[in-house]
C-alpha cells in the first residue's frame, strides 16, 4: 500500500496573521511549481490565531491545516484552552497531539495525550501523534522502550479504522542543530511501524510516520530516502517559504517508494 509523502510545518509561536498571509503569498506559487505533487501532502500547523484567517487560502492551495494543540474536554472552565469543536470551526482538519514541547514544558502526560488523541478522533479530526525520547533516555538505551510506551498509551484500544499520522521527534534533535543520523531515524521508524502493526494491525501499513528534528533543505532528501520515513515535521525551516518549498521539492516521488 502506497502512503503519501507528508511535508508538515510547525510554526510554533511564530508569525502573526499578516506574516502568515505573506508566507502563503510567497510559498503557494513555489509549491505549484513543483513538477509532481501527486503523492505529496503538505500541511501547516500555525498558531491558533491563524487557523481561520488562513483556512481559505490553504484550502485553495490544497494545503492541510492543523492546530498545534487542543484540550480533550468538549467545553468547560479551562481558561486559555481550545476544544476540538472550536478547532473544527476554524476550518482546520488536523491537530498535533503530544508534541515534545507540550510534554516537556506544559506537563502533558501520556494519559493526557491519550485523552487529547481520542477527543480529536471523536471530534472528526485527524491527530498527528508525536512521540520521541530525550537525550538522557537515548543514552540510557531506553529510546525504543520510551517510544513504545508512548505509542501504546495513546493507541491501545482504538477502533480498527481511524485516520492518524505519527511523528517521531527525538527531543534532543529539536532546535539544537543536532539531527538523528539517517540510520538512527530509519531504525526508529521501523520500530514504530512494527509497534503500529501490533497495536493497529488493520491499518498499520497505511499510516504515515514523519521524522521531526532539525530538518532542513540540505538533509531532507537523505532523511526521506529511508524506509518507513514517510515525510518530515519541520520547525524553524518551515517559517521561510523558500526553505520549506525546498524541503517539499526534496520529497521522493518515484513510484513504489515506501510502498
Radius of gyration of the chain from Cα atoms?
17
Q: Using CA atoms, how far apart are residues 121 and 95, in angstroms rounded to an integer?
A: 10
| DSSP letters for 83-136 | BHHHHHHHT--EEEES-HHHHHHS---HHHHHHHHHHHHHTT-EEEEEE---HH
Q: Of the residues 71, 99, 189, 258, which is catalytic?
A: 99
CA distance 81 to 95: 14
How far is Cα 122 from Cα 116, in angstroms, rounded to an integer? Answer: 10
Which of 169, 189, 195, 258 is catalytic? The answer is 169
Q: Is 152 a known active-site residue?
A: no
- Is 14 annotated as catalytic? no
* 227 C-beta neighbours (distance < 10 Å), count: 12
| Catalytic site positions | 99, 169
Amino acid at each position: 500500500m502506497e502512503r503519501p509523502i507528508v511535508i508538515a510545518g510547525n510554526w510554533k509561536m511564530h508569525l502573526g496573521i499578516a506574516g502568515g498571509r505573506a508566507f502563503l503569498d510567497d510559498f503557494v506559487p513555489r509549491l505549484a511549481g513543483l513538477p509532481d505533487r501527486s503523492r505529496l501532502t503538505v500541511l501547516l500547523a500555525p498558531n491558533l490565531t491563524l487557523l481561520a484567517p488562513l483556512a481559505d487560502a490553504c484550502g485553495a492551495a490544497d494545503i492541510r491545516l492543523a492546530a498545534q494543540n487542543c484540550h480533550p474536554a468538549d467545553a468547560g472552565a479551562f481558561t486559555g484552552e481550545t476544544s476540538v469543536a472550536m478547532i473544527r470551526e476554524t476550518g482546520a482538519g488536523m491537530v498535533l497531539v503530544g508534541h515534545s514541547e507540550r510534554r516537556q514544558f506544559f506537563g502533558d502526560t501520556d494519559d493526557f495525550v491519550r485523552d487529547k488523541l481520542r477527543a480529536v478522533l471523536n471530534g472528526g479530526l485527524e491527530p498527528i501523534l508525536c512521540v520521541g525520547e530525550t537525550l538522557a533516555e537515548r543514552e540510557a538505551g531506553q529510546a525504543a522502550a520510551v517510544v513504545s510506551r508512548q505509542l501504546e498509551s495513546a493507541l491501545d484500544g482504538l477502533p480498527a479504522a481511524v485516520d492518524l499520522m505519527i511523528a517521531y521527534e527525538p527531543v534532543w534533535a529539536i532546535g539544537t542543530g543536532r539531527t538523528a543520523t539517517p540510520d538512527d531515524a530509519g531504525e526508529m521508524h521501523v520500530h514504530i511501524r512494527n509497534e503500529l502493526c501490533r497495536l493497529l494491525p488493520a491499518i498499520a501499513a497505511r499510516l504515515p510516520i514523519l521524522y521531526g528534528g532539525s530538518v532542513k533543505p540540505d538533509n531532507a532528501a537523505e532523511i526521506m530516502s529511508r524506509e518507513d520515513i514517510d515525510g518530515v515535521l519541520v520547525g524553524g525551516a518551515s517559517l521561510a517559504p523558500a526553505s520549506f518549498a525546498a524541503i517539499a521539492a526534496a520529497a521522493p516521488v518515484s513510484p513504489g517508494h515506501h510502498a
